[in-house]
Structure 1
Amino acid sequence: MSDDAFGPAVDLDAALETLTAVVSGSGADEFDAFLTGRNGQYTRFAGDRIHQPQDIVEVQVMVRAVVNGHAARASTSSLAGAAQAAASAASFARAIAAGSSAPGGHRVATRQTFGTGPVGPPRSLLWFDDTAAFDEAARVEQVRAAMIAAGVGGATVAGMFGRAATSLVTATSGGVERATLATEALASCTFTVDDGTSHFVDVGRSSSRLQLGLAIEAGLQQAAASTGRGDLEPGVYTVVLGPEATAELLEFLPSFGFSGELAAAGVGLWTRSRGQQVATAAVDIADDALADIGLPVGFDIESVPKQRVQLLDHGVVDSPVLDLHTARVLTSSLPRSRSTGHAHIAREEVPETRAANIVMAAGTSTEAELIAGVDEGVYIQRFWYTRPVDTTATTITGVTRDACFEIKGGRLGRPLRGMRFTQSVLEVLASVDGVGDLRRSSPVMNVWNGAITAPAIRAHGFRLGAAPTH
């Protein structure tokens, strides 16, 4: 590590010792526990000044108690409260079990089933010295470079550069104990020239892979090119979506039917379309926390090793993500079903299955080549204010934002104002005929260790409506 201030939010050995003691207690048939920690350091800036340097340390400890197959959880924000959380969880679980006429289906991970050895990516994919060295001085220097470049181009820039050390520690009464520590580098910028804007975001384990110099240069060029925006006639268009826009679409996939809860309930896309071709063969999407891009991690909050789960296999509906409970429920339809390591936690939510590390395979075309293949269409850098409209039809709505251009004769044309859209995500994926060769990772807000890695895509039949009101 580059300095004493950068490291885990809590000592990992102490955390493992505490959690192991907690899950060895009495009051319930089984226990498991996890700690998520994050020691983040951020440099926020706008215009010509750094306005908000931040150091944020977050710790969450959660204990699950199981009595006769019925589970309850309690949480705390420190290791000191772990024993009390275990007692509370056990009390709740006993009350639930006493009020039930049948056993429940919850169990914890055991060493007989999941082992105790090393799991997941090697340390070389988790801890990067360049991110450890991305300290306050290095971030300030990068901010200075961005401000100077913006000033030369008559632009302004606002954003945030940061680094974090994220940790996950787990233990179960079944004898499974795990701990991991990883670096995280994050950059986000908005560039403005008059009424023109452009945006950039990327997250990963290595700060060098963010390629901030190139990103700043490209962002300033796009912002300058997007001045003097005009309106586009509402209609149906061929589109080239930048990596951020593609990632926004992919974020909705789990809620369409790839979560363990939806699969176990027998509803959603996986249930009704398993094995069917719903997108073109160019669309290959997995939840892959073992990949060397995005935010890899080796195991989930139930101590279960992460598996790569194919969501769309070259356009064919493949598999849902599962935790211990949903895998058990699905054994009737999937006899050899077992957890894929996807028990997860999001801010202000109870744990549930989550595809938190979605990765779409890259193609072979540059973004310029995707645009060159469009006679008339629209380039969209990203979306915002997106929300689901009809999860069965996979329809979402939202607004285009930042660098958005008309495409004429295979070249970017006049810049466009923001437009509303209402569109089926599967309809977009079913029309993809080009995939970019470069990918970026977008953080998933409020989801621990969440990232979506996506390339640019070219698709057809995208419905763009009226400009948003301001």
Structure 2
Amino acid sequence: MRTPVDPDRLVPALERAASAAGADAVEIALLGKAGEYTRFAGGRVHQPQDITETQYTVRALVDGHAARAATGVLGGLDAAVARAAELARALAKSAGGPGTATIAAPAGVPELELWHDDTAAFDAGARAALAAATMARAEAAGGHAAGMFGRAVTQLAVVNSAGVAHHTRATEAIGSLTATVEEGTSHWIDLHRSAAALDAERSVARTVREAVAGRGRGPLPDGRYTVVLGPQAAGELLGFLEAFGFSGELAAAGVGLVANRRGERVASTLVNVADDATSPYGLPIGFDLEGTPKSVVPLLTDGLVGAAVTDLASARVLGSASTGHAHVAREEPPSPVAANIVLSPGPYTEEELIAGVERGLYVQRFWYTRLVDRVAGTITGVSRDGCFLIENGRLAAPVAGARFTHSVLDLLATVDGVGRTVRSQPVMNVWNGAVSAPALRGHGFRFGAAA
């Protein structure tokens, strides 16, 4: 597997550039990924892609005022450092006094298992064979399959003029599939550092079976339902937690759960959620874009509101240390971001969660979800694929997607069962971001215009 930038020459080049004159301090981060993706649809592999991306972000500080510049190539680094230093000097000159920006001090990072040989073996031949078997299984069921299998090497390096010098490589495997049989559909996605952890063959078989079972879907009557949310649906809801106040920026502004309800119970005692870069799930990595080691941040512990994820700037306002969650997204300002949200698994299979429901609904996933009310934790969206009524502890008639508007916090407060099998899904516009969750069971989830 290709590494985006040769490690032997990368860190020395970053150290040399970070020591350049013209600023009080300089911080440089490389975000790199070399990915290989096998896409398939219509009975054939199409659009196979090998993509290598590199972005060097530079932050220069003068009298506590910071400015940024970026480049996509190592050869452009000196110019980016000079530009960031020039902008920082201009900011300092125009300011009425010193600023508060800082860079990270050297510190050890957690040792994590980030490289998996089984992902390295998940090459084009293996992925094409898996795609062919997936399409054949769907065709044998009278339908078709579309999706993607991929592997990648993620590379992160952070160097600053205070002596921070971190570098790591990590494997990444991903699989996704939409199976369609007549009007029945089912969807699966998972990602992990290890390709074997995807359990792709079993996941494909289940997805096709659910598409077959989804034929003849009827409308879902408006109402409030006991729900068993599959891992994808549960993960989609958990991805909104940060917007409810677990971001350091929101906490520093006095907005949301951490600022106003820390230590209060807002969810069932069965709900334990953390941003955990030491977890085996998702896409863990040991430090952030400022070179700060990542801490495990408890968001909800036995349903109690915990802490916020922070970077250097938000931690300073809160009077705490950075938790190692600095992030720079495309076309967005720098901010602290929860990048590895994990809901701790419980003891139950999905079948056991379903068996405990007399009448209710199984939801495979949500889409087009949007925030409605930050304080109440309310979101809106649509259920999609593989959704079934539950009757007498068993999946019954398939139902079509339906609009919902509901408080995530209200649902989490009713959780009385958590599954044991965790799946992960990527987070939009978050570099190396993932949400990982098992299935869960809750009550009173509102679909349609129910009161």
Alignment TM-score, normalising by the size of structure 2: 0.98
Does 2:225 correspond to 1:237? yes
Q: Distance in 1 between matches of 2:119 and 2:49?
A: 17
Please show how residues 288-307 of structure 1 align to structure 2 within 5 Å. 288-307=276-295
AA of the residue aligned to 2:161: S
Q: Distance in 2 between matches of 1:58 and 1:34?
A: 14
**Contact preservation (8 Å) 2:350, 2:419:** yes
Match of 1:189 in 2: 177
Equivalent of 1:287, from 275, 283, 299? 275
Give secondary structure in 1 for the equivalent of 2:438: strand
Give secondary structure in 2 for the equivalent of 1:14: helix
AA of the residue aligned to 1:321: V
Q: Distance in 2 between matches of 1:312 and 1:435?
A: 15
AA of the residue aligned to 2:104: A
Give secondary structure in 2 for the equivalent of 1:289: coil
Q: Distance in 1 between matches of 2:333 and 2:31?
A: 14
Q: Distance in 2 between matches of 1:147 and 1:160?
A: 11
**Contact preservation (8 Å) 1:347, 1:448:** no
Match of 1:136 in 2: 124
Match of 2:391 in 1: 408
Equivalent of 1:456, from 439, 443, 449? 439
> How many residues align structurally?
450
Does 2:405 correspond to 1:439? no
AA of the residue aligned to 2:127: R
**Contact preservation (8 Å) 2:383, 2:403:** yes
Please show how residues 118-133 of structure 1 align to structure 2 within 5 Å. 119-122=109-112, 125-133=113-121
Match of 2:64 in 1: 69
Equivalent of 1:14, from 5, 9, 15? 9
**Contact preservation (8 Å) 2:270, 2:417:** yes
Give secondary structure in 2 for the equivalent of 1:93: helix
Q: Distance in 2 between matches of 1:73 and 1:141?
A: 45
Please show how residues 373-452 of structure 1 align to structure 2 within 5 Å. 373-452=356-435
The Cα of 1:102 is off from its aligned counterpart by 2.6
Q: Distance in 1 between matches of 2:32 and 2:76?
A: 15
Q: Distance in 1 between matches of 2:97 and 2:227?
A: 54
The Cα of 1:349 is off from its aligned counterpart by 2.2
Give secondary structure in 1 for the equivalent of 2:264: coil
Moved more, 417-426 or 347-356: 347-356
Moved more, 166-175 or 445-454: 445-454
Equivalent of 2:77, from 76, 82, 86? 82
Does 2:98 correspond to 1:95? no
Match of 2:48 in 1: 53
**Contact preservation (8 Å) 1:237, 1:463:** yes
Match of 2:300 in 1: 312
Q: Distance in 2 between matches of 1:212 and 1:466?
A: 38
Equivalent of 1:30, from 25, 28, 40? 25
Q: Distance in 1 between matches of 2:74 and 2:332?
A: 20
Change (3 A) 1:316 1:103: same
Give secondary structure in 2 for the equivalent of 1:350: coil
**Contact preservation (8 Å) 2:159, 2:165:** yes
**Contact preservation (8 Å) 1:30, 1:65:** yes
Give secondary structure in 2 for the equivalent of 1:276: coil
Give secondary structure in 2 for the equivalent of 1:339: coil
**Contact preservation (8 Å) 2:55, 2:71:** yes
Match of 1:370 in 2: 353
**1:338-395 superposed Cα distances (whole Å, 9 cap, x missing partner):** 0111112323323210001001100001101111111111110000011111111111
Aligned-residue identity in percent: 55
Equivalent of 1:345, from 328, 332, 347? 328
Q: Distance in 1 between matches of 2:177 and 2:52?
A: 23
**Contact preservation (8 Å) 1:12, 1:169:** no
**1:273-330 superposed Cα distances (whole Å, 9 cap, x missing partner):** 1010000011000000111121111111111111111000111001101111111111
Q: Distance in 1 between matches of 2:134 and 2:145?
A: 7
**Contact preservation (8 Å) 2:220, 2:401:** no
Give secondary structure in 1 for the equivalent of 2:84: helix
**1:15-49 superposed Cα distances (whole Å, 9 cap, x missing partner):** 21121111111111111110010000000001211
**Contact preservation (8 Å) 2:223, 2:449:** no
AA of the residue aligned to 1:324: L
AA of the residue aligned to 1:237: Y
**1:450-469 superposed Cα distances (whole Å, 9 cap, x missing partner):** 111101000111000179xx
Q: Distance in 2 between matches of 1:102 and 1:307?
A: 33
CA RMSD of aligned residues (A): 1.2
AA of the residue aligned to 1:259: S
Give unmatched runs, 5+ long, in structure 1. Answer: 1-5, 332-336
Give secondary structure in 2 for the equivalent of 1:371: helix
Does 2:202 correspond to 1:214? yes
Q: Distance in 1 between matches of 2:256 and 2:65?
A: 26
AA of the residue aligned to 2:50: D
AA of the residue aligned to 2:110: G
Give secondary structure in 1 for the equivalent of 2:100: coil
AA of the residue aligned to 1:172: N
Q: Distance in 2 between matches of 1:72 and 1:7?
A: 32
Q: Distance in 2 between matches of 1:413 and 1:198?
A: 15
The Cα of 1:128 is off from its aligned counterpart by 0.5
Match of 2:316 in 1: 328
**Contact preservation (8 Å) 2:266, 2:409:** yes
Match of 1:201 in 2: 189
Q: Distance in 1 between matches of 2:73 and 2:155?
A: 14
Match of 1:334 in 2: none
Give secondary structure in 1 for the equivalent of 2:186: strand
Q: Distance in 1 between matches of 2:428 and 2:45?
A: 23
